[in-house]
Every structure is written in C-alpha cells, then in structure tokens.
Structure 1
Amino acid sequence: MKSVKTRKSPRRNRRVFGRLLLLIIAAIFLVFAGRFAYIAATGHIAGVDLTKRSQKKYKADSVIRAQRGTIYDSLGNVLAQDINAYSVYAVLSHDYVGPNKKPLYVTDKKKTAKVLSRYLPLSEEKIYKQLTPANRSVYQVEFGSAGQNLSLSIKRKIEKEHLTGIYFNESPTRLYPNGTFASHVIGIAQSPKDEDGADQSLVGVMGIEKYFNKQLAGQDGYKNFARDSYGYTINQKKNKVKAAKNGQDIYLTLDSRLQSYMETLLTSVNKKYKPKSMNAVLMNAKTGEILAASQRPTFNASTKKGIGKIWRDTLVEDGYEPGSVLKIATLAAAIDSGNYNPNQYYQSGSIRVGDKKISDWQTSGWGMIPLSQAFARSSNVGMVKLEQAMGPKVWKDYIQKFGFLKPTGIQLPGETEGTLQYVRPLDQATTSFGQGINVNVMQMLQMTSAIANDGTMIKPQILSGINQDHQVKPIKAGKPIKASTAKSVLQNMEDVVYQDYGTGQVYQIPDYKVAVKTGTAQITGPDGGYLTGASNYIFSVSGIAPADDPKYILYITMKQPQNMTDSAESILAQVFNPMMKRALEYTKKAEKDTQQQVTVPSVIGQSTDEAQKKLTDLGLQTASVGSGNLVVQQLPKANSVILPKQRVILMTNGAMTMPDVTGWSKNDLLKLAQLTGVEIDIKGSGYAYHQSLAVNGLLDGVKKIKVQLK
C-alpha cells in the first residue's frame, strides 16, 4: 500500500500545480482586463490623458514667431536686430523613412554637395566630405558656422532645390553688429528654453532690450493643424491660423559716430590706467538727448565676451557720492537764495563742525581768500561756509529742487533714486561738497542742465521714438534756479578752466570756451570709514561747451585707477578733451553739410557683379567674402538706413575666402565676424592696415584672425 501511494503522489502534484497555474493566469487576465476597462472608461493612465496624448500625436500647434523689433540709433543705423536665423542640417541615417519606406535621408550626396555650395560659404568638396563621415552610423550632420545664421531668403532658395534629407532649424537670434557699443544701455535679448529644451522667443534681459521688451517682442501667432501617423500635415478646414504681430522698432538718441569714438577713448584709458570702473555720458544740453554713453567694465554684445564681469548698467543702477562736482548745486543754491557774497573773505584750509575737522584737498589751504575763489579752487571749507549761510532747510530744499533723491525717469531699467544722510550738522556740512549724498549719473547730468539752460533743468532722454515717430522734444524737469544764477555759476565753471588758481586748466580746448567742475570723492570702506591712498577715490569731471552757447554736457567718472601714473585730471582729460572737441566739430560740420541717408536694398540672390554695381550707384562701398558669383548673405541687412560711403559686406556662394580689409573700420570688421562666424581679434584704433590671414585665404576651419588698426 505504501508503494502505491508513492506512485500516485506525482500525478496529484501535477494536478494541483496545473490548477494553481490556471488560477494565477486567470487572476493576471482579470487584472489586465480591469486595467483596460479602466483605461477605456476614463481615458487616463498614470495621470496621462490618453485622449489628449492621441490628439497631440495627430494634431500640433505650430508657433508663428513674431519678429522682434529693431533698435536704431538717431541716424537710422542698426544697433540690434532680429535676424530670423536658420541653420541647415542633413539626415544621413537610412532609418529615417516616410510612408512606403520613402527615403527622407540624403540619397544623392554629390548632387546635394554641389547644390548646397551655391548657397553656403563652403566648397563642394568640403560639403561632400561632411556628408560622407568615416563613422557611417552618424544620424545627421551640420555644417558649422557656414550652415548657421542663414537668412529666410537663402532657406527658401535651398528648399526650392528639393534636396532629399536636407532640413532646417529655426532659432531666434539677435544681431548686435557693433560689438562693444553702449552694451549695457542697449542691453541684450536671450532665448529661454522650454521644457523640451527648444528655444523660445527672445526676451530682453538688460538695458533697452529689457525696458522696451513688450514693445520689441510683439505677439507670437500660431498654426493649429492635424497630421497623420507619419507626421505629415493633413489639410483640414478645422486648421486654425493666427498671424504673428511683429514687434515695434525702437529709435534711440545715440549717435553711432560719437558713440564709437567714446568707446575707443574709454578703451584706451581703461587699458592704460586700469580703473575699477568708469562712466562717460555725452548729452545734448538743450534737448536732454543722450548722444553717447558707456561704462567700464563692459562687454561685446555680439560675442558676449566680458558679459560676466558686470551685469549692472552703472549709469543708472549705481548710487555713489559725487564729490566736488556737486559744488555746482551748492554754489547755485547759495547764489539763488541770496546767501552768497563773492567778496567775503574766509580762512581756508580747515573748519571745525561739531567735534570734527573738515579740510580742503590742499590741507594747508590758501590763506585768507574771497568766496569768489572757493568754487574754482574746489575748497571744501568755502562750500561749508555757503551751506551754513543758507541753513540746512534751504540747502535741502535746493537738493530736492535739483532732482536728487528721486529717479530722473530715463527709459532704462533699475534707476536708483539715491539717498541722503542729513541728520547732524556734520552731515549737512559734508553734503555741500558731495559727501553723505548718493546720486546716479543721470541725476548729475540733469542737475548740470539747469546751468546750461538759464535755470531750467532738462530731463535726460535715451528714447528718440517708437516706429516712425522719433523726434525728441525737451522735457522740462523743473526750474530750480533763476537765469541770472545759472549765468553766474557758468562763469564760475569757466574760472575752473581759465583762472590760474582753477583746478581744471587741463580741460582747455583750443578754439572753444569750456566750463568745467572737477571732483574727487572719497570711497566708503568695509568698516564704514573712508578709504585712504592716492587712488582710492572716484575722480570726475562735468563740463559744458561752448560756455557762451551751451550745446553739450559731458560727464565722466573714474573709480580707483590701479595704474595711476598721471594725475586724475590728466587721465580724464584724455577722454574729455577729444570727446568734447569731436562733438563740437561734428556740430559745426553738420550745420554746413547735412548728409543724406541711404536705404540699403536687398541684393541676396543677385550676381556679385550686379549687387556691387547696385550698391555702388547708391554711394555705398562694398566688399565680398568668397569667390562665388551669387550673393547669399549681406550686412547691413536690407532696408537698413545708413550713411553714404559706408561698407556693405556681401557673402557669396562657394568657398569662404578672406577679403582685403585694409582701410576697414572696427564696425566693418565686426560685421565680417558676424557673417563668417570667425573671431576677429582687433588691436589698436583707427582703420585696418594688417591682417593675419592673407587676402583670398580660406576661412574654412579658421578660428581667429588678428587685425591691426592704426
């Protein structure tokens, strides 16, 4: 019996196991059936709406990008432009096929190379080499800088060739053709990434690009369409299209000729004396138009080189103690309030206020001198005497009348309003010579404008207009002083330059009468006290010219020069004198010879000879990059408004070759860099006379070219 039971046990075990397996399979089936029933009923799985996912597969929203508005200077020169760039790429993988296994990859590489060489600055051989990589598993290839930043016109021409496997990526790109050029004022626009890593529309993150982002950006449109399982668009009446609304153009008051010269002067001084920072602004004294404005450190807006050094626009975002230039306001307030007796003598050198001693910059003083000399000598003691004669209430009223402690309202983001330390008699006394009060650069220009305009302050303006409406009208910011007061202060500013005891004799400009006030402001240290040492100051100069008929105000500051081999006045004069002289001579020339502007036509797609003749007939210079016979790109772009004799650079098809840049300006070289994607290292100032790459040398594979100016 025992042996019988043993023989039956395996059979019984198999039956039990079989039933158990059936139960498990049935349970799994029920789970899946329940899951499918749930999905079918709700249309959701793992929190994903399958209906929407399915619709997304067969329907798509295509964003129609709005073109960002262009930023121009006062003459119509392009400062920032949306170039609607496209980059071309080629799919090589044979896995990329359409319905019925239709090839969507490059099928005829020789033909593709030959056709693309007509539109790209690459030789046929170079393109073919890229289309036949050693690694055959490569899915797709691109064509470097030569295949980037293509215009819409070139993209369409390539598309008309119906090349299999050739596709395009669109990316919002901003062109800043002048490089280092009022970079913090104009600002930059960047493309944030969406959740899939794709570029979104450009957004202004600094300067004018940020302040007027809404106007510049416009409004994107969209195209809602259906597509089949292969991704092809299905024509349906339900497709919806909303056109994009392009951004508005912004015109600034900047004058490119004056701005370029200011950049050159600042770069030279910055390189030689190495200050921690510098600011310079040239303003039209009558209208408040900012004609040139820059700072150091700065950056190249085209290459973004140096952008990490400082993001702030120090012309409006930084508050600082202005030092002795504020004595313009002190003297004006004392004269206007009837508390100035020029013939009153006082003991210079030092004065005690409370338990503190205030000293002149020449600590021994000049003995007993009249108040009429206090301003020209930049005597702190003389200014304290004037503040005490006015009293704290009257002096503070004038501080506010001159527009301090509130923003000027210039159209730049982040303007600081400034601060005032004015509790103790010592505080009140030190403000008379520019300590204990924080200001910004635009407030100082606005204050000085009252002296140039018979007592009426003019608001600084950087915006000339939006779209076609760009005519600047002066905006009055108050009348803090009488006309007679302004004339008296202006005479005192002349004394600074032309009296033998004046601190600004170095600012004399032959053939022009100049009125100036110099400044040396102490800098607060980390412990709350003022720094010591010969260079630990903010040195400044504010000038008006011509003094007998004010047209310009030029204000320059320089903080802590690290290589102070010359006096502060001599250093600042290396910017002030040539800059002011250039502006004055420019005005004189403009009054005699009004230049006509030229609108650049489109020559893309035309033969090189035809394009050159067309541009030359308009009084423009031309230069060609490459040896081809067809123009594929141009800078400045079509419809740009420029001055006669400016250079238009034409990129031709075929191999990209180096032109002869002899006599080219810095701006021309920056345009060349933008077109070719090759970095150009520019040394010196003036015009090009030497290039490291020979004329007609191939640019393919070249990363940097050195060009010397003189």
Structure 2
Amino acid sequence: MLRKFSSRCTALFLLVIAGFSYLSWRMIEIQYTNRKQYQQAAQNAGTTITYLPGNRGHILDCNDELIARSITLADLRINRYDLNDNNLCSKSLAWDELSTTPGWIDLSDSEKSKRMHKTMKRLIENESEILNSKFLTHAVSHLAIALRVKREDLMTKINSKPNDWFILERNMEESIYESVQKAIDTHKLFGFSLEKTARRRYASPELASHIIGYPKIIEVQHGKYTYKKEVGTYGVEKTLESILAGKDGHRTSVTNPRGFLITPEPGKTLPPRPGLNVQLTLDMEIQSIIEEELLAGIKEYQAPRGCIIVMNPKTGAVLGLANYPSFNLNDLNNLDTNGINFATQMVYEPGSTIKVVAAAAAMNEGAITRHTPIFCHNKLYQQGNFSMKDHHSYSTLSAEWVLGKSSNIGVFKMAMMVGMQKHYDYLASFGFGKKTGIPLSSEVNGRFTRSENLYDFASSTYGYAVSVTPMQMACAYSVIASDGKLRKPQLLKAVIANDGTAIQQMTPEVVREVIKPNTAREMRRSLLTVMQKEGTAVQANVPGYIACGKTGTVYKFNTETKKYFTNRFTCSFAGMLPAADPDFVCIVVIDDPSSTGVSLYGGTIAGPVFSRACERIAHHLNITPTETVEPRVVNQ
C-alpha cells in the first residue's frame, strides 16, 4: 500500500515538474528566443495602417485654363459592432467624463489609466442596459455639430439603417470632414470612421469629354488593408496615367492598451505626393466654339452624328475636337451610346474631300500644274468595259477647276497619270489606312486596298472604297496647309511640376514629307476655286477672310442590303484659313442629315458650319482679316 502511494506521489511530482519545465521553456522562448517575433505580433495587433492616395495632377489647356483637378472627399462610416460594444462605449463615455475634470491633464499615464478603468467599470456595472444608447446620443450630439445638421435628423438616419456596416454621409468636403474627424478624435467616438477618396472635378464637364476622359475608383489591396484611388480609364486621363497618377502614402497608427491612438513616431508617416500636371494643346475657347457650332448644325440639319476638328498644321497641335453625341464627365450613365469618339474611333467614306490626294500626287510628280487642261468627257467616261459618270457634264476644266467643280472623271484621270500603285502610295503617305498616333485609346486604322480592279481604283480616287477617320483627314489637310509634311497629331503640350516649373515641353513630330512645299502652295491656290460662286462650297466662305478647302458628299452604305442608300449621305468639308498661310485646319463632318429644306451636299450642310465656326475661331486667334472679297467666277 505504501509502495503504491509512493509511486503515485512520484508520478504527481514528475507531472508537476514537467508542467513547470514547459512553462519555463515557453517563458524563455517568448522573452529571449523568439522575443522579436512576439513583440512584432503584439505591435501589429495594435497597429493600423491608413493608406493615403496621392491626388491626380491637374489638366490645363494651352492658355493655362484649368480643365480638371482632384479634390479629397470623405465618407463617414459606421460600424454597429463597435456601437454595441459595452467596453468601447464605456471608454468613450469615461474619457468624456474624466477629460473635462480639473487637473486631468496633469495626471500621469498610470493614474489616468486607473481612473479610466474605475470609471469604465462603474458605467458597465450601473448603466449596462442604457450604455449603448447613451453613447450613441453622446456621439450624435457632437457629430451633428460637425456635420451641421439637426441631432434628431442624424439619429433618425442612423436608426433607419439596419446594416452592421454602412455609410452615414457621403462625399463630404474638406471643411466638413475635418470637423467630423476632430469630433471623433476629441471625444473618442468609437464605431465612427472616415474613408477619404480623391474625386475628379471638371471646370466644364460637357466640353471635350471624349478627349479629357475620366478616371474610375478602384479598390487597392495591400496585405490585409484596402483603400480606394482613382485610375484613368478613358481619354487622356488614361493615356497620360503615368504622368497624372499620384504617389500613394501611408500612416501607421498604434493603439495603447486602453485602445486609444498613440501619435505616430517620426518616420511612421509617408505623405502622399500628387501627380504631375499636364498642359494640353486644346484651346478651351475654340473647343467651346466648335461644340456650339456643331450642336447648332446637328439640330438644323437633323443629323444623329457629327464631328469638328481644329488643328494647327505647322505643329500638329489639336486645338479643338468636338463630337456629337457627347456626354457629361460628371454623369457617365449614357456612355454606351455617347461614349464613342467619332473623330478617332469611327470611319466613314470621305467622298470628294479625298480628291486632294490624286491632285497633289499628279502635281508633285510633275504630271500637271493647276492650269493643266483636263478633258472630262461631258459626264460619261468609257474605256473598254469600264465606264464612270460625273454628276454634271463638263468638257475641259483646268486642274484646279477639276477640284472646284469636283469632277470625278477629272480626278480619276489625274490619278491615272500617276499610276495605280503610286496613287496608293500617296494615299498611304498622306496617312490613310494607318492610325495617326494621337494619344487617345482605341483609335482605328481606317482602310483602303491596293486593288488593280479599275472600278475599285476609280472609286478610291473620289472617296469610295476608302474608309477614314476625321482625324486622318485633318492630318492629311494639314500636309497641304503647311509645308507638305505629315505631322503626328499632338494633345500634350507640356508636363508641369506642382510648383509650376515646366518639366517637359513637347515638340512637333514630323512623320515624313509627303509633297514638296511648292506643291502644297499650289494645292491651296487650287482649292480657292471651291469657294468661288461656280465652286461647290460658296457657303463655306468665311466673312472677312480668304479660306480654301474641299467639299465631300457620299452616299451611305446599307450594311443589310450591301448596297448604297439613294437618299442618305455623309456630308463634310475640309478647309483651312487663311488660305495663303493657314493658321489652322478645320474638318467638319455631318453624318446622315435629313433636313428637307436644304439640298444634302457637303457644301450646303457642312460648309455653313465651317464658315460660322472659322469666323469665330479667327477672331479668337486675332488673325488679321483680309479685305472682304465677293466670291467671283474665275476663268476655267
């Protein structure tokens, strides 16, 4: 019996020794072996990282007019779990009670901790049933002042939300959310927190929306922490994202054992950096003019779509680009129908505006001058099994009046003087069939084929069997309006630091020489005929100025029947001003007009829109008016 008792005592003793040995080993492991690991874990348990998104840079026009900027807004969020936590509620109420007592500020941390613990215990023991509602009343009384609302209205709003997590107030401006944050910090309002996000603001949200574009709010994940920031999604907001995007920062906050925030030590906060500012080539006054005139033309001629582009031919700078339909950058609900950029993302058959390619090629190759007589076969041209017609009967026209009268036969014969493949080479050299390189996403190529079929070739000389974008046409006419060189269209003028210093100034980018400078001058003189009384665009004349250009009228293609409509058109005008040495090129495209009071031609539909827009643009640019000359007949 004694032996059994002794064995049991020995076993119990060994068990106790083993237990103490394990505890001793764990203490050594925690305090010495893995001390840093456990210290870090303890610190992390009381650490909160707040990520601070860097605001996007500003967008300015060429005259330093502000187009877009980012501002910081905040949402006030509520966590009901914290609102119903007696421990947190008692902390807040105890703090509010004690922090206003005389001498509190002079107490040591340990004394404050003792008094806090005692007061919290009293509140929980004596007021547990009403503690949550008392805290909520306390919180609402302070937040209502910060939010500048009535307490009863705020309480009703909170009680009407059944969710455990919800947003109480959205998109608060800085003056409001700073007051709210001060109330939360001062009165320890657990369960209430702010989430800040940047929001883009536009000076004129309906202007240049297809160019400016917009960012979207995305949620960024960093470990267990998430935050929201703006990322460019469309327009230059997307293509210039690497320049505009800010550098995100972060703030590390540590809570003490009582749950209160400790001020971060130096180095614990990395301030966010705003993105760089960009200055565009756009002139917002010109943008406003062309959007107004485009809309007026769309309404007058009852068209569903249209586009105007204004470009500096000497630099490639896009001064304005207007599309209809368009959209408001503050309301993106109709993007599916209105978000397509007609100028760069849609193609059309250009009609007679493309005749300048055949004429310029023939002049540049020395096959003709602008005075060379071209026999136009009195409306009907035949060559074996091939035949083609003009809209009107012309006998012999000078080369410049082939353009003035817009003779299909005359232009076809010019192209034949150059040869099929060389004519196609000139189409490519003028920039057709390839993206212009404008810094906007989803630009399309357009298309033409190097067909040796005579019908296809003839069609390409007068604007059928060729698909182009308005931007390609603007670049092509800029070749004629300048020194014969094709330039890449520019939207970015400069990159500017936040202190106003220009970091990078963009320079014109020449793609290639297309025609000789003298050929370009002769082409401008030839295009003056289009504006004469006997030309096709007398209504495109600009009062007080001498402009030149070319009309385009083309039947629309029916994709269902695979034939051309007989009563639906795309009407366009491509021109420049002043004709002698153009300061700008202007392209007007009115797609599918249906006005019954006006003949549906490029000169009668797009021409007047060109005239009105260019007159206003010329005044804005302070271009010296020339003597007003009555349109006249020039010897053919």
Q: Which category describes the TM-score, using the shorter chain as reference length?
A: 0.7 to 0.9
Q: Is contact 2:376–2:394 with CA below 8 Å preserved after alignment? A: no
Distance of aligned partners of 1:212 and 1:94 in 2 relative to their CA distance in 1, 3 Å threshold: closer
Q: Provide the rounded CA distance (Å) in 2 between the counterparts of 1:275 and 1:53.
A: 68
Do structure 1's residue 107 and structure 2's residue 138 form an aligned pair? Answer: yes
Aligned to 1:192: 218
The amino acid that maps onto 1:550 is P
Distance of aligned partners of 1:549 and 1:137 in 2 relative to their CA distance in 1, 3 Å threshold: closer
Aligned to 1:84: 72
Q: Is contact 1:327–1:434 with CA below 8 Å preserved after alignment? A: yes
Aligned to 1:295: 323
* 1:308 Cα deviation after fit: 2.4
Q: Is contact 1:281–1:554 with CA below 8 Å preserved after alignment? A: yes
Q: Provide the rounded CA distance (Å) in 1 between the counterparts of 2:160 and 2:495.
A: 53
Q: Is contact 1:130–1:141 with CA below 8 Å preserved after alignment? A: no
Q: Is contact 2:327–2:339 with CA below 8 Å preserved after alignment? A: no
Aligned to 1:156: 178
Distance of aligned partners of 1:131 and 1:273 in 2 relative to their CA distance in 1, 3 Å threshold: farther
After TM superposition, the structure 1 = structure 2 runs for residues 492-571 of structure 1, keeping only pairs within 5 Å, are 492-498=526-532, 500-527=533-560, 529-535=562-568, 537-563=569-595, 565-568=597-600, 569-571=603-605
Q: Please, which moves more after superposition, 349-358 or 450-459?
A: 349-358
Counterpart of 2:612 in 1: which secondary structure? helix
Q: Provide the rounded CA distance (Å) in 2 between the counterparts of 1:417 and 1:316.
A: 9
Give 5+ residue unaligned stretches, structure 2: 1-38, 94-134, 626-636
Q: Provide the rounded CA distance (Å) in 1 between the counterparts of 2:229 and 2:145.
A: 34
Q: Deviation per CA, 1:201-243, whole angstroms, max 9, x where unpaired?
A: 2111111011011221133233455556886545677985444
Q: Is contact 1:191–1:199 with CA below 8 Å preserved after alignment? A: no
The amino acid that maps onto 2:464 is Q
Q: Is contact 2:421–2:450 with CA below 8 Å preserved after alignment? A: no
Q: Is contact 2:486–2:511 with CA below 8 Å preserved after alignment? A: yes
Q: Provide the rounded CA distance (Å) in 1 between the counterparts of 2:478 and 2:604.
A: 25
Q: Provide the rounded CA distance (Å) in 2 between the counterparts of 1:156 and 1:417.
A: 51
Q: Please, which moves more after superposition, 180-189 or 255-264?
A: 255-264
* 1:354 Cα deviation after fit: 6.8
Q: Provide the rounded CA distance (Å) in 2 between the counterparts of 1:589 and 1:374.
A: 30
Q: Provide the rounded CA distance (Å) in 2 between the counterparts of 1:133 and 1:513.
A: 66
Distance of aligned partners of 1:197 and 1:280 in 2 relative to their CA distance in 1, 3 Å threshold: farther
Q: Is contact 1:538–1:557 with CA below 8 Å preserved after alignment? A: yes
The amino acid that maps onto 1:441 is P
Q: Provide the rounded CA distance (Å) in 1 between the counterparts of 2:279 and 2:373.
A: 50
Aligned to 2:493: 464
* 1:143 Cα deviation after fit: 7.0
Counterpart of 1:173 in 2: which secondary structure? strand
Q: Provide the rounded CA distance (Å) in 1 between the counterparts of 2:460 and 2:612.
A: 32
Q: Provide the rounded CA distance (Å) in 1 between the counterparts of 2:288 and 2:323.
A: 13
After TM superposition, the structure 1 = structure 2 runs for residues 407-486 of structure 1, keeping only pairs within 5 Å, are 407-423=435-451, 424-467=453-496, 468-469=501-502, 471=505, 473-486=507-520
Match of 1:246 among 271, 274, 277: 274
* 1:132 Cα deviation after fit: 4.2
Aligned to 2:11: none
Q: RMSD between aligned alpha carbons?
A: 3.4
Q: Is contact 1:345–1:371 with CA below 8 Å preserved after alignment? A: no
Aligned to 2:621: 587
Q: Provide the rounded CA distance (Å) in 1 between the counterparts of 2:525 and 2:253.
A: 73
Q: Provide the rounded CA distance (Å) in 2 between the counterparts of 1:334 and 1:558.
A: 29
Q: Deviation per CA, 1:68-116, whole angstroms, max 9, x where unpaired?
A: 1111111222222211112346789952562744256451655654453
Q: Provide the rounded CA distance (Å) in 2 between the counterparts of 1:54 and 1:274.
A: 71
Q: Provide the rounded CA distance (Å) in 2 between the counterparts of 1:448 and 1:202.
A: 38
Counterpart of 1:510 in 2: which secondary structure? coil
Q: Provide the rounded CA distance (Å) in 2 between the counterparts of 1:395 and 1:259.
A: 35
Q: Is contact 2:147–2:176 with CA below 8 Å preserved after alignment? A: no
Q: Provide the rounded CA distance (Å) in 1 between the counterparts of 2:596 and 2:219.
A: 46
Q: Is contact 1:375–1:496 with CA below 8 Å preserved after alignment? A: yes
Distance of aligned partners of 1:62 and 1:366 in 2 relative to their CA distance in 1, 3 Å threshold: same
Q: Is contact 1:347–1:369 with CA below 8 Å preserved after alignment? A: no
Aligned to 1:702: none
Aligned to 2:196: 170
Q: Provide the rounded CA distance (Å) in 2 between the counterparts of 1:182 and 1:258.
A: 10
Same amino acid, percent of matched pairs: 24
Q: Is contact 2:551–2:607 with CA below 8 Å preserved after alignment? A: no
Counterpart of 1:506 in 2: which secondary structure? helix
Do structure 1's residue 129 and structure 2's residue 153 form an aligned pair? Answer: yes
Q: Is contact 2:446–2:468 with CA below 8 Å preserved after alignment? A: yes
The amino acid that maps onto 2:591 is K
Q: Deviation per CA, 1:577-629, whole angstroms, max 9, x where unpaired?
A: 221111111122899xxxxxxxxxxxxxxxxxxxxxxxxxxxxxxxxxxxxxx
After TM superposition, the structure 1 = structure 2 runs for residues 223-234 of structure 1, keeping only pairs within 5 Å, are 223-227=251-255, 232-233=260-261
Q: Is contact 1:192–1:201 with CA below 8 Å preserved after alignment? A: yes
After TM superposition, the structure 1 = structure 2 runs for residues 348-359 of structure 1, keeping only pairs within 5 Å, are 348-352=378-382, 355-359=385-389
Do structure 1's residue 180 and structure 2's residue 202 form an aligned pair? Answer: no
Q: Provide the rounded CA distance (Å) in 1 between the counterparts of 2:348 and 2:249.
A: 45
Q: Deviation per CA, 1:292-330, whole angstroms, max 9, x where unpaired?
A: 111112110122253221433232222332221111121
Q: Provide the rounded CA distance (Å) in 2 between the counterparts of 1:154 and 1:401.
A: 58
> How many equivalent residue pairs?
528
Distance of aligned partners of 1:207 and 1:524 in 2 relative to their CA distance in 1, 3 Å threshold: same
Q: Provide the rounded CA distance (Å) in 2 between the counterparts of 1:420 and 1:346.
A: 25
Rg larger for? 2
Distance of aligned partners of 1:429 and 1:574 in 2 relative to their CA distance in 1, 3 Å threshold: closer
Q: Is contact 1:105–1:164 with CA below 8 Å preserved after alignment? A: no
Q: Is contact 2:400–2:527 with CA below 8 Å preserved after alignment? A: no
Distance of aligned partners of 1:55 and 1:484 in 2 relative to their CA distance in 1, 3 Å threshold: same
Q: Provide the rounded CA distance (Å) in 1 between the counterparts of 2:172 and 2:588.
A: 38
After TM superposition, the structure 1 = structure 2 runs for residues 50-61 of structure 1, keeping only pairs within 5 Å, are 58-61=46-49
Do structure 1's residue 62 and structure 2's residue 27 form an aligned pair? Answer: no
* 1:53 Cα deviation after fit: 11
Distance of aligned partners of 1:184 and 1:53 in 2 relative to their CA distance in 1, 3 Å threshold: farther
Q: Provide the rounded CA distance (Å) in 1 between the counterparts of 2:40 and 2:322.
A: 52
* 1:246 Cα deviation after fit: 2.4
Distance of aligned partners of 1:532 and 1:354 in 2 relative to their CA distance in 1, 3 Å threshold: farther
After TM superposition, the structure 1 = structure 2 runs for residues 303-452 of structure 1, keeping only pairs within 5 Å, are 303-340=331-368, 342-352=372-382, 355-360=385-390, 362=391, 364-423=392-451, 424-452=453-481
